[in-house]
Structure 1
Amino acid sequence: MTGDIRVLDLPLFDVDEKNGFLSSEPPLERLSNLYYEPWEKLATNIPQLLLTNQMKPQVENELPLLSIDQLTTLQELKRGYVLLTFIINGYVWSSNPPNEVIPDSLAQPLLEVSNKLGLPPVATYSSVVLWNYKVVDEAKDLSLENLTTGLTFTGSFDEAWFYLISVYFEKIGAQCIEHGLKAVDAVSSNDSTSFIESMKLLAMSIDNLTDILKRMEEKCDPYVFYFRIRPFLAGWKNMSKVGLPKGVKYGSTGEYQQWSGGSNAQSSLIQYLDLVLGITHFSDGGQQQYPRKPITNESQFKRNSYLLDMRQYMPKPHRSFLKAVSESTNIRQYVLKQSSESTERFAYDTCISMMKNFRDVHLGIIRNYILIPARAERMNETHIMRNGLATTHNNKNHLGTGGTSLVKFLTQCRDETSDMAVTKWVKEYLKEDDIEHSNLEMNFVFDYSYNFIGFKDKMSNIQLIEDDAENGDVDFFIHHW
């Protein structure tokens, strides 16, 4: 598909204008058909079963083999997937060593539901975030104050908050989808004014996402996350060190399969932002050479296989949407054709800077939620029972729930984002290691009407474009993030 992206029918891709990659309708809170009550009861009681060491016997001895034939709607299939993936992850990681053979009563319906939805038979971002929340008051808009979570592994407030931050993240991401697509359309129409306006709003929307991410620490304790929540979100790919060298076996006569666990890399929104802005991520050993060299020919490098792999963990309609966007986006090509100090280039680099800032904040969360708790545990060994990933604190190369090396992967994504800046001094600023002593000072300023006012830096003497209007005071000011 090429050309005007306005032909995209968002509902066809299960993308909502108001809620982004969240469906237009809230997820089912439970399956009304009493035939599936055993699934509902078991999944709802996971925290109690894990606490009393009854998860394994309940799954193996009490869970009946149910047909999925009575899941007749897409919403019911999604609910079935949520229930069964919570049960399987709770079952696998309920003991140490983990359980590697899945009973037929769980494996068979999960494989069938997963096949119908085109998703892996493991807890994914879809099952713990996209399809696992409740709206408190459906007459009101989605907000953190109007959301509660569905299933959890621990029953803790911390786990609920961890999921809800991501739910609201996706809700706010609808703004990014809107402004990004409008920018693509503006390029197709050769409408410079509309392009600049859309990029301004896209930059602000990305900054809103960063603000939401920063709220994680309000109600999710890093140590609770690291030792109690994170282990149950892991999959069974690259998990030899915690007892699953072959993955897990789906059924008594089934095959071993290896799947990554739930990860933010499975968020279609983050990959959408990279695609629409033309941010390219490469595999290890390609562009990731230090000191870093400018990219002169992208075709000589392989694309990041982990990010591409994560797309199969996304709902099929969202994968199709990303494919359509990747074939239609024209933003980066457009700005590269503009003069070196054009407003179009500055507007684009504002978005790149916001994305770089987002990834800096994400790295900070990884530091607080994984590296620091792991370091503390190494220094003060305890006899508290740990399962799965919570037993790997002696390994400095920390694995994420997706089975990849977290810090290395996220640092690479952050650096490759900085590489995409098209203005020389912006690129230098974004790569500056010591911002406090940098020769560059970069300010992005908007007024109350969200009009872009300008930039300022010490080296190139680019001055702010002052707005003398009565209500043109600075409303949005970003300085030395």
Structure 2
Amino acid sequence: MTSDINVLNLEEYDIDGAKGFLSSEMPPEALPNEYYAPWERIATNIPQLVLTSQMKNAVENELPLLSVDQLTTLPELKRAYVLLTFMINAYVWSSNPPNEVVPDQLAQPLLQVSEKLGLPPIATYSSVVLWNYKVVDPSKPLNLENLTTGLTFTGSFDEAWFYLISVYFEKVGARCIEHGLKAVDAVNSADSAAFIDSMKQLAQGIDNLTAILNRMEEKCDPYVFYFRIRPFLAGWKNMAKAGLPNGVKYGPQGEFQEWAGGSNAQSSLIQYLDIILGVTHFCDGGKEQYPRKPIANESQYKRNDYLLNMREYMPGPHRRFLKAVGESTNIRQFVLSQDADTNVRLAYDTCISMLKNFREVHLSTIIRKYIMIPAAAERMQQSNTLRHGLANTHEAKPKEHVGTGGTALLKFLTQCRDETSDMAVTKWVKEYLKDAPSDAANRELSFIFDYNYNFMGFKDKAVNIQHIEDDENGDVDFFIHHW
């Protein structure tokens, strides 16, 4: 497959070489036009308004109907989208039962701004993460110790940290974008050595993302997240049990609309990793149908509609970028054609291993600790503390938990993890990743790094297979992963 990847201009897709899907310019901290001061005042005071049960009154009686015509630049439109989506989610979910009819003074400008940006009129990953952060000291590097968030629903340290983990995740992911595209170019140049190097760098990048995810619990308490933060991130699709059987009506004379809530599936970076590596997700692949039986034409399997729909919740330029990459990536086809080149196949499988590990950590750490355990905590369920939205929907069976995006959470994420493992091309790696009933379960698989934490490869003592490039000093013996 011929690719034009090497001529893609990332700036045209609102992608920054150093910050990835975070825009190169910092999000504005406020709209410069005083005309929009009422939006700024109410949105920045959401925690106080929610705490004192005044959010509904503030929107209905203190928010004027403002025109969007004075939003003259793209950063201003993005800031307006952040303000308005935070307000609508806070307005809907701050009451019990939730408010299902949004007044015109909020609904009309939100619908107009969303149309201009090509985004849904609801809080999305873009409004809570990509366009909602600040750097504490501009003279210092952009890292977790130098980041703070913009708007929040609760005003809590936990909520700010929850968003900032994703902000830094996107920033570090810029390296993954770079090396994935380099791997495609290496295939086009028939340069196996460059391809292997790019795969190693991509594997290290994915591993760095997993390390960031593991930092969530440092400053975000699972119970605070589940009972206080998560309800405001929910959408109004598949939310009948939470009190919105018809979705939300945008204006008294408007129509009911159903939109999914914020979800990591709306991260262009996560979908990019799947696309660049050729990882495909299918519908109805849960316990009953997974693993799938091989058929002659894999295209007969229906693709996962949820993941495809989540692209509509991404900024337009990012959607176009994913489409361009999907049409040009050639990595998996190249790897499958290299039957005799073990190094190429193992380099690819290293990336698959890292991506599977990322999804395993997401399941075992984030989903288990932040959703499953709090939901099952009997003492919390039996308390008299006021709960809103999803915090009131304690399902008896874990499989029935609904995520903020409206999916059957555990089944969906487990399937994504298993389908990632299924992409490995080396037999023993696939067996190891899928925990197949064989000697693979007893293997000792280690990922190898040098003293500068540069990924070098991995090895398995049981089968005496190594994929390691020694450095010039011959001292690549630093193990930081041990499965």
Bigger drift between 64-73 and 139-148 goes to 139-148
Which residue in the other structure is 2:393 paired with? 392
Cα distance change on mapping 1:464 and 1:74 into 2, 3 Å: closer
| CA displacement, residues 233-290 of structure 1 (integer Å, 9 cap, x when unaligned) | 0010000111111100001111110000111110000000000000000001589614
Kindly state the Cα deviation for residue 454 of structure 1 after the two structures are TM-superposed: 4.9
Partners of 2:185 and 2:309 lie apart in 1 by 29
Q: Greater shift after overlay, 441-450 or 177-186?
A: 441-450
**Quick one: which of 416, 421, 431 aligns to 1:428?**
431
Q: Is the 8 A contact 2:2 2:188 kept in 1?
A: no
Measured in 2, the distance between the counterparts of 1:340 and 1:407 equals: 38
Shift of 1:469: 4.1
1:357: which partner in 2?
357
How far off its partner does 1:452 sit?
3.1
Partners of 1:329 and 1:440 in 2: CA distance: 33
Superposed displacement of residue 212, structure 1: 0.1
Q: Secondary structure at the match of 2:394?
A: coil
**Residue of structure 2 equivalent to 1:416:** 419
CA distance in 2, matches of 1:11, 1:212: 26
**Corresponding pairs, count:** 479
Q: 1:412 Cα deviation (Å)?
A: 0.3
TM-score, length-scaled by structure 1: 0.96
**In structure 2, do the counterparts of structure 1 residues 37 and 2 end up closer, same or farther at CA, with 3 Å as the change threshold?**
farther
Q: Deviations over 1:144-184 (max 9, x none)?
A: 01100000000000000000000000000000000000000
Q: 1:295 to 1:151 in 2, by over 3 A?
A: farther
* Residue correspondence of structure 1 range 462-473 to structure 2 within 5 A: 462-463=465-466, 467=470, 469-470=472-473, 472-473=475-476
Q: Which moved more, 1:307-316 or 1:446-455?
A: 446-455
SS in 2 for 1:452: strand
Which deviates more, 101-110 or 374-383? 374-383
One-letter code aligned to 2:464: N
SS in 2 for 1:455: strand
SS in 1 for 2:244: coil
**Aligned partner letter, 2:446:** N
Q: Is 1:43 the equivalent of 2:43? A: yes
Which residue in 2 is equivalent to 1:125?
125
Secondary structure of 1:371 counterpart: helix
- In the alignment, the residues of structure 2 paired with residue 20 and residue 105 of structure 1 have an alpha-carbon distance, to the nearest angstrom, of 35
Structure 2 matches for 1:90-169, cutoff 5 A? 90-169=90-169
Distance in 2, matches of 1:120 and 1:465, equals: 46
1:479: Cα distance to partner?
A: 2.1
Which segment is superposed worse, 245-254 or 269-278?
Answer: 245-254
**Given the superposition, is the C-alpha separation of residues 177 and 435 from structure 1 closer, same or farther in structure 2, using an over 3 Å criterion?**
farther
- Indicate the residue corresponding to 1:62 in structure 2: 62
Is the 1:197–1:451 Cα contact (8 Å) retained in structure 2?
A: no
RMSD: 2.0
Cα displacement (A) at 1:475: 3.8
Give the match for residue 19 of structure 1: 19
Note if 1:405 corresponds to 2:408. Answer: yes
| Partner amino acid, structure 2, of 1:373 | P
Q: Aligned partners of 1:322 and 1:333: how far apart in 2? A: 18
AA matched with 2:415: Q
* Corresponding position of 2:444: 441
Q: Give 1:289's aligned residue.
A: 289
Match of 1:299 in 2: 299
The DSSP-based 3-state class of the residue aligned with 2:465 is coil
| Structure 2 Cα separation of the partners of residues 114 and 60 of structure 1 | 21
1: CA distance, partners of 2:77 / 2:369:
36
Worse-matched range after superposition: 301-310 or 449-458 = 449-458
Instruction: Give per-residue Cα distances to partners, 1:108-134, cap 9 Å, x unaligned.
Output: 000000000000000000000000000
Instruction: Please tell me whether the aligned partners of residues 448 and 476 of structure 2 are also in contact (alpha carbons under 8 angstroms).
Output: no
1:3 counterpart residue number = 3
Q: Which amino acid aligns with 1:45?
A: N
Contact 2:285 2:292 in 1 (8 A): no
1:439 is displaced (CA, Å) by 3.0
Which amino acid in structure 1 is aligned with residue 251 of structure 2? Answer: G
In structure 2, give the amino acid aligned to 1:368.
K
Provide the rounded CA distance (Å) in 1 between the counterparts of 2:406 and 2:189. Answer: 43
CA distance in 2, matches of 1:75, 1:246: 33
For 1:225-236, list aligned pairs within 5 A: 225-236=225-236
Q: CA deviation at 1:344?
A: 0.4
1:385 aligns to what SS in structure 2? Answer: coil
Unaligned runs of 5+ in 2: none
Q: Report deviation, 1:352.
A: 0.2
Give the Cα separation in 1 of the matches to 2:286 and 2:61. Answer: 50
Distance 2:281 2:440 in 1: 29
2:83 matches 1:83: yes
- Counterpart in 2 of 1:214? 214
2:205 is matched with which residue?
A: 205
Instruction: Tell me the CA shift for residue 342 of structure 1.
Output: 1.2
The residue matched to 1:16 in structure 2 has which SS? coil
Distance change (3 Å), C-alpha of 1:227 and 1:287? closer
Q: Residue 194 of structure 1: SS of its match in structure 2? A: helix
Contact conserved, 2:235 with 2:260, CA < 8 A, in 1? yes
What is the deviation of 1:478?
2.5
Identity of aligned residues (%): 72
- Equivalent pair of 1:119/1:315 in contact (CA under 8 Å): yes
> CA 1:465/1:197 → structure 2, altered by over 3 Å: closer, same or farther?
closer
